[in-house]
Structures are given as C-alpha cells and as structure tokens.
Amino acid sequence: MSSKKDSELPVPPKSGFSRRGFIRGVGIGSGALGTGLLETEAAAAAPATLGPGPVPITLNINGKPVNLTVEPSVTLIDAMRNYLDLTGAKRVCDRATCGACTVIMAGKTVYACTVLAIDAQGKNIETIEGLATGSALHPVSKAFYDNDAQQCGYCTPGFVMACKGFIDEHPSPTEEDVKHGLGGNLCRCGTYMGIRKAVLQAAKEMKGAVKNG
Amino acid sequence: MANTPDYHWPPMDQRKVIGTSPKRLDGPVKSSGRAKYTSDLKPQGMLFGAYLISPHAHAKVTSIDTSVAEKLPGVKSVYVAAPAGTEMQYQGWEVAAVAATTEEIAREATRKIKVEYEVLPHFVKDEDLASAGANAKQGGERLVGDPDKAFADAEAVSEGHYGIPVVTHCCLEPHGQVIQWMGDSINVWPSTQNVPGYAGDLSQRLQVPATNIKVKMDYIGGGFGSKFNPDAWAIVGANLSKNAGGRPVKLYLERNAEQMIGGNRPSAYAKIKLGGKKDGTITAWQTDSWGTGGFQAVSPGQQPYVFTNLPNIREVRTAVSVNAGTQRAWRAPGNQQASYLTCCAIEDYAHKIGMDPIEVFKLNAQYAPTARIETYRYQLDKAAELADWKKLWRPRGQNGSGPVKRGLGVAIAAWGGAGHAGKARAVINPDGSVAIETGTQDLGTGTRTIITQVAAETFGLPMSQIKLSIGTSELPADGGSGGSSTVGAVSTTTRKSSMNALAKLYEVVAPSLGAQPEELEAVDGHVRVKGSPNKSLTWQAACRKLGSTQIAEMGENVPRSAQAEGLNTQGAAGVQIADVSVDTETGIVKINRYVAVQDCGLVINPKLAESQVFGAIIMGIGTALFEERIMDAQTGRVLNPDMEFYKLAGIADIGNLVVHMDIRPENDKRGVIGLGEPPAIPICAAVGNAVTNAIGVRVPTIPMTPDHVLAALEGRIG
Ligand code: FES
Ligand code: FES
C-alpha cells in the first residue's frame, strides 16, 4: 500500500480512545446542516488517554451544564436519549442521512448521530426540549401545528430544529430556498407540503418578533 | 334498549364539527418534541438490548457460544434465537440478543458471541422468471371468456413487459418494543399498529394469559402495514427480560436490520398482451406475472386491476421464493403492483391505437365494478381538468425537440376501506365532563382528532370538552389499523356509544323538560326538546340531574351490519395524474405537478384527509423515482440496507401536489370510508406512464432512475 493512500485516511485521534462501532461521519446530507465535523473531532482530541471505559463529561444543553459518564465512543444522540432522557431528537438512520437527530450546536445545525458526546463539550447545544418554555409553542413548532406538518411525528423534532437553524441563517426564505435548505431531513409519512408552508409562516413570525422585540 | 337511537350522520348541511378541519389534536405535543414514542421510554431499571443477526442469505448455525458475552460486566442476559441446527433463510435472521446496562455494552457483547455457520446456496434475484427454477411456484391460473377468439378478432393488439421491485417500509421508528416479563405477567410498550390485538398474539407465543399482558402505546413512528404482530423481537425481548429477573428490556432494530427484516412490499413483473377495437374498447387481456415476497412466496395481485369485468382474460401468476426478508402488508397490499401492471399496459394500448389514454380509461371504465363506473369517469375528467391535460398532453414522441421532454401519465386506484370490528365506551359524568374510551391507536392519520370531532358533533359540545383515551389494552377493544379500516370503525363506535349514552341521559332529564326521552336532542351545549328550543337545559344542568351516577354506554361496529346503519362502508375510488420532465441526456426525472382526485365517502376532517393524500403521494413518488431493495446475486446480501442508498424522496423531489377530495353528496351519503391506503396505490403507474409519454418509449421497470430511463432510450431493455 502506498504511503499516499495511507495519508488520505482520516487522521486517527492521538488520544487513542476507543471509537468502538464508530464508522460514521461520511455522507453528510445536503442543505443547512454543517460540514467539517470530522476535522472538528480530530482537532478536539485531548492529549490525555480517555476510555475505552466511561469518562465523566459535561455538556452544555439548553443553557444548563449537565454531567454524565459515557464511553468516549458514545454519540451525542445516544448521550441525550439513553443517558439524559432528552428524547425529542430521534435516532433513525444513525448515519447522517435523515436528520431526525438534528440539534443546533454552536449555532449550527448538526446531525447528533454524527457528533461524539465528548466532542460536544464546551459548545452550546440547543435541543427541541429547550425551544420553548412550559406549554407554549415556539413559532416553528406552532407553524408545524398550524400547517399540519406532522403525521406520525417521528421526523418532526429533527425537522423543527433544522427549520429553526435554517431560518436563523435565512430570515426571509423563498419557497425555493426552503426546498434546498431542508434537503437534509427526510419524512416517511410525507409531510413536506405542510413543512414548506410552515417554514414560510415561522420565518415571518420570527422576523416580526425580532422587530417588535 | 327500548328505543334504538337513530345513529345516522346528521345531514351534510346541519353538521357543526364533522366536515370541518380543526387542527390535529396531537400536533402540539409532536411538534414540540414532547410526544413519547415507545422507543423513547426508559422505565425504571430498563436494560438495553442489542441483536446479532445473520450475515448470510442462507446458512445453518453449526455452533453458537455465548460464554464470553455473558461474562462481560454489565451484561444481564443473553438469549439465543437460532440455536445450533437452525437453518436461516435470509440475511438479517435473528441469531441472538443481549440485554445490558448500557447500549454500548449490549452491542459489544453481541460482537463477542461466537457463531459458526455452514453457508448454503442462495437465490435472491427474481426479475428473470426463467432463472428461478424450483423457486418458482404456481400462484394461480384464471380463464374468463374466450381470449383466443377475442385476440383473433381484435382490431389492434399491444404487448409489453413491466416490473415493479421490492421496496421496504422504512418506517422512521424501527420495529421493536420495551418489554417486561415478570413471573406470570407482562408489560409491553410496542411500536404497533395493533394495540388491541397485540396481547392475544403475545399470549399464544409466550403462554402467558392475555389478561396478564398490559399493552400501552401513545405514539408510533410509522407502520404503513409492517407493524401488526409481536414479532420475533418481542419474543426475544421478553425472554431477555425474564432471564434478567424481570427488568424491562428495550429492543429495537438497528437501521440495517430494519431494512432487511422489518418488512417489504413484494415485487411484480409481467408480460401483458391486450387486444381490442380501434375505438379504444379493450376486449382481450392476457397476463403472465410473477413476483417475490421474500422467502415466503407471494404472487402478484389479480390483473386486470379495477377493470375486473373485462370479458376475455387469460391469467397466469407465479410466486417466486428468494432468500430475503419476508414481505409484510405495504399500504394497499398488492394494489400498487396490480395498478402499475394494468395501467401501463392500457397506456401502451392507447398509444398503439393512437388515442388519448384518458379516453381509453374512461371508455373501459365500463368494466369497473358497476357502482364505481360513473365515479371513475367523473374523476378522470376532474383530474384531467386539474392537470391541464387537454393543453399539456401530447402523443408519445411529440414532446419537443430539446433534450428535456415533458410528459403526462394517468393511473387509477380502488380500495375497500370499511370499518373493522370494534367497540368504544362513552361516559357522561354528573359534572358534565364527557369521555370516549377505545383501545385504538393513532398512526399519525388523525384518529384522535376525528374521534373527538364525532363525539363533539354528537354531544353538541366543543371538542375541548371531550376527553379521549386510546392506546392501551385495558380499554374496550378496537381493531388493528390495517386495510384503512380504522376511521370507519372508530367513527361508528364513537357515534353509537355517544348516542347510546345520550339516550340514557335523555331518560333522566326528560321529565324535567316535560317531554319524552326520544323527543330530546343535544345541540350547542344544551339538551332541548326538538322543535321547541326554549324548552332546554344547559349541558351542565342536564348532567347534574344524574346525581352521583355516571353514564357509561358501549357502541359497537359490526362489519356485517355496518353498511345497513349507513355510518361506514367500503369502496373508495381515485384517479391520479403525474406531470414530469425528463432530461433525455442525464435520464433524470423531475416531478412538475402531481394531481390526485380521491373519494372516501363522508369526510370527517378535510384537512387531515388532504394530508393523508399528500403523504400517500409523497411516499409513492419515492417508490416511483428512487426506492428499490437491491440484492447482490453473488453474496445474497442486501446492498442498500441503510438510508443513504435506499433513498426516500426529500422535500425538493416531489414537485407541486394538487389534491382534490371528491366530497360530492352522492359520495357523502355512503358514509365513512378509509383513506390511508387508496391514494397510495397509483403513483408508480402514473409516473411510469408520464415518463414513457415524455420520452416516447416505455421504461418498463420502476423506479424511474436515470439508469432505467437511459437504458430504455438506448434500447438496452426491449
Ligand atoms: S439519525 Fe442522524 S441523520 Fe439520521
Ligand atoms: S411525520 Fe412520520 S416520518 Fe415524518
């Protein structure tokens, strides 16, 4: 095997912690979702050896620090769902295709199935649970409700977060923008007609809110 | 009951809640991420399960050693589903499973199970019937009239071959459950379309009395026909729980297993010959079709589809068995395939005689079931109008000189959709609160919302005053949500239980209104004497007369007698038209517009009905353009058991959808008919016909991928 080919392989993390079962990160979908996660992971690898057993970590979720102990191979989606009971985001493809696991990390929408929990430390993580307080609905959630943009609803939390991230970056989208910007999320029940309308409604309302606020 | 109430739906113009479009009741909880699906649950002490599945398409387990896995710290139980000697018939077959304190440990442990396999020969490709050999089994022959004579007399004959492959349900929530088996009782939180039937099935398989099995599910992340019974994973999960001392175990399929064994739609291939007159009348039909349902052989549905009264038919159907995951009901089982084969063959006949296919479909609607003939003709005209057919449709090969060609295609659908057997209880409390209790489930179709609408209409109360309980085995049993049978059932049981409860209330309050019970009605929050609106009591005042006694009355849907009551019936019809552009240089197909005209009898909530049709079309567009389970002949494995290469339609792929619900009085008076399936039927056929119309040659095999389109253009497939 030529050395050139070797150098094209992803750089292994220096820490040598276990990434057992972690063959993820390829095929990041189109649209609003961030890229460059692999580089971020590699750069964030701590010099000290961690794992393969569980290690204590701190995540900053919805403005609050939470402590948990997970193996370094645990993804953010599994940390949220299995360790923190934050089950709004769903694990569906587990391979960065469907967007059901979408959260907003450091201001960017990301697939939580493709981020390691330990690498999410030190970043502000917004999940659907933090979108609104009490029983009030965030304008994006309300727009989904108003436009019947959910059926079984399993894709919905991921879609809502992707829409929120999309509108943050594109405050005045056209319908064409919506079609391209939300290509990174999939719905099996076929709620796209409602979602198209919901994004436009939410964008309008959120702009109004900023102006009035 | 002395006086059976008149259960009939109120006349169209007198309805206050039915026929309106309140927003879906579970919208807020879903769009805020608060809805707890069973795959989100984590009851006290829960263990995480993980599966080991067969990597081989056909193999025998010669030995299995779980000792290392069992010793892994955190592992609480290991269960062998395929002991030595088991012959496994497809990749993904359940071999063993582990329950552990974390999901990571459970997965690690499955990798420490040592299995030795004797690999056996496999057969996984079904496109070519000649290669199937002993895997092909006779699926039925049918002879109607005298096809030989009819073909000899025919003024025109067209021939073609067509194919529609295996696709998977690809529910976003995978199959599975959280299950807890303690001694003689079981608690289970499954992802199921059949809450009321689940305990009975599980009871038989685990020898635990059904009365000791509690089933609960509030939300399900998609089923589409694939989630009825407690599957192998429920049995495996239950045993893991039992072996772990009764701790609850969560066991859901990983995506790759979901795609391999979580269900699929059978394929269908056919060689079809049609004969008829130059005026478009088809007089003879010959079809030779085959397909596979996986290891379980399933032959294609009967053809011709819808045009069942055609006078001369010869039909041979063959079932091919392959070493791949077993088929399950897929949103109108058998119908997409039959619609595709039938509607493509008719389009080819129309082309042969140089006629507009809409006219040929209309003419041959004479062969549809009598009650539906005029409906189809009306719907064909309506769909053509909405699709601008007269302006946009051109005969094949006349769709412009540039590389991008536009084409239109039409297809039709039929479905039953009568309500299943079921029961509901309506409760009126002395404080005026009202509850409906029925052990059904809401698949995201809007079941909660329409039950509440029917109750609100019947009691004359706002929807917010109705408390609804569904989703557990402890409630009066409804049926499984299959065959589009739920809306007919729950609307009927809700209507009847509510009317029965009202009849009891009327008995109590009639004396104080100086009237007979049967003279009373519940309208606008009052109980009043019909025709004398000033003789009335507010709902609260009427209910206070109950003293301390609650009213609780049952209502039942009995399929045999339902039609006579007029509340629900069967027989939905639909016509759809696809408008596509095809780039003849790249082979890429783009949907411009898609029109659906759909009848489903009385429509309780037009907005939710429209959403159902949108959803059905979008799912159908995925299958028409992208979806196919691809098998590797060499290894027998599924090449795309993921969502990257098993591609669903995205938000940009579907074009513009136009849905017209055919809510005419003559449809309304038939009563409620199910809708989940009928609009999901004709999409592959409409898109296939549109692509063919655009490029001028038949693209025989779905999906309409660049590969298939270019091959047809280059004459690589005949
Ligand atoms: S589960 Fe993360 S993208 Fe599908
Ligand atoms: S609503 Fe069911 S997957 Fe989107």
Over 90: is that where the pLDDT of A209 sits?
A: no
Encode pLDDT of B32-76 as tens digits: 999 999 999 999 999 999 999 999 999 999 999 999 999 999 999
Average pLDDT, chain B: 97
Determine the pLDDT at residue A12.
38
pLDDT, average across residues A70-76: 97
Encode pLDDT of B354-376 as tens digits: 999 999 999 999 999 999 999 99
Over 50: is that where the pLDDT of B378 sits?
A: yes
* A:34-63 residues touching chain B, CB 8 A cutoff: none
pLDDT band at B4 (very low <50, low <70, confident <90, very high): confident
* A:139-168 residues touching chain B, CB 8 A cutoff: 140-142, 144-146, 148-157, 160
Tell me if the domain spanning B345-415+570-713 has CATH number 3.40.640.10.
Answer: no
Determine the pLDDT at residue A27.
33
Q: What is the DSSP letter of A79?
A: I
| Domains identified in chain A and CATH numbers | 55-130 (3.10.20.30), 139-212 (1.10.150.120)
**Half-sphere exposure of residue A80: CA atoms within 13 angstroms, side-chain side:** 29
Distance between CA atoms of residues B147 and B152, nearest Å: 8
Burial of A185-199, coded b for 16+ CB within 10 Å and e otherwise, reads bbbbbbbbbbbbbbb
| Domain covering B43-121+176-252, topology | Aldehyde Oxidoreductase; domain 3 (3.90.1170)
What tokens appear for B345 in the block? 């063959």
Distance from chain centroid for Cα B94: 26
Encode pLDDT of B512-551 as tens digits: 999 999 999 999 999 999 999 899 999 999 999 999 999 9
Over 80: is that where the pLDDT of B383 sits?
A: yes
Over 70: is that where the pLDDT of B82 sits?
A: yes
- Tell me whether 0.90 is exceeded by the ipTM: yes
Give Dmax (Cα) for chain B: 84
Over 90: is that where the pLDDT of B665 sits?
A: yes
Distance between CA atoms of residues B629 and B647, nearest Å: 10
**Ligand 2 atom showing the smallest separation from residue B222 Cα:** 2
Over 80: is that where the pLDDT of B568 sits?
A: yes
Determine the pLDDT at residue A211.
52
E strands, B350-486, in order:
404-415, 422-428, 434-437, 466-469
Ligand 2, residues A90, A147, A151, A195: which to mutate, most atoms within 8 A of Cβ? A151
Using DSSP, state whether B332 is helix, strand or coil.
Answer: coil
**Domain-wise residue ranges, chain B:** 12-35+418-565, 43-121+176-252, 345-415+570-713
**Cβ pair B33:A127 closer than 8 A:** yes
In the structure, which protein residues have their CB atom closer than 6 angstroms to any atom of ligand 1? Answer: A 91-94, 96-101, 111, 113
pLDDT, average across residues B420-442: 98
**Cβ pair B219:A152 closer than 8 A:** yes
Contacts of B170 in chain A (CB under 8 A): 188
Over 50: is that where the pLDDT of B318 sits?
A: yes
Contacts of B26 in chain A (CB under 8 A): 153
Among B207-221, B292-306, B463-477, B616-630, the minimum mean pLDDT is found in B292-306
Determine the pLDDT at residue A207.
87
**Cβ pair A92:B611 closer than 8 A:** no
Alpha-carbon distance B523 to nearest alpha carbon in chain A (angstroms): 28
Determine the pLDDT at residue A52.
82
Determine the pLDDT at residue A5.
37
Determine the pLDDT at residue B718.
41
Distance between CA atoms of residues B707 and B630, nearest Å: 14
Contacts of A98 in chain B (CB under 8 A): 172, 643
Å from CA of A157 to ligand 2 middle:
10
Over 80: is that where the pLDDT of B253 sits?
A: yes
Over 70: is that where the pLDDT of A9 sits?
A: no
B11: exposed, middle or buried (Cβ count in 10 Å: 0-12, 13-18, 19+): exposed
Among A30-44, B311-325, B411-425, B646-660, the minimum mean pLDDT is found in A30-44
Alpha-carbon distance A183 to nearest alpha carbon in chain B (angstroms): 6
Determine the pLDDT at residue A51.
75
Over 70: is that where the pLDDT of B109 sits?
A: yes
pLDDT, average across residues B280-294: 97
**DSSP bridge partners of B409:** B578
Tell me if the domain spanning B12-35+418-565 has CATH number 3.30.365.10.
Answer: yes
Distance between CA atoms of residues B540 and B543, nearest Å: 5
Radius of gyration of chain A (CA): 18
**DSSP bridge partners of B185:** B182
The reply to whether A128 touches chain B by the CB within 8 Å rule is yes
Encode pLDDT of A23-59 as tens digits: 333 333 333 344 444 444 445 555 567 778 899 999 9
Same fold, B43-121+176-252 and B345-415+570-713: no
Determine the pLDDT at residue A47.
55
B183: exposed, middle or buried (Cβ count in 10 Å: 0-12, 13-18, 19+): exposed
Over 50: is that where the pLDDT of B19 sits?
A: yes
pLDDT, average across residues B343-353: 98
B566's enclosing H/E stretch is: none
pLDDT band at B562 (very low <50, low <70, confident <90, very high): confident
pLDDT, average across residues B207-236: 97
Encode pLDDT of A152-178 as tens digits: 999 999 999 999 999 999 999 999 999
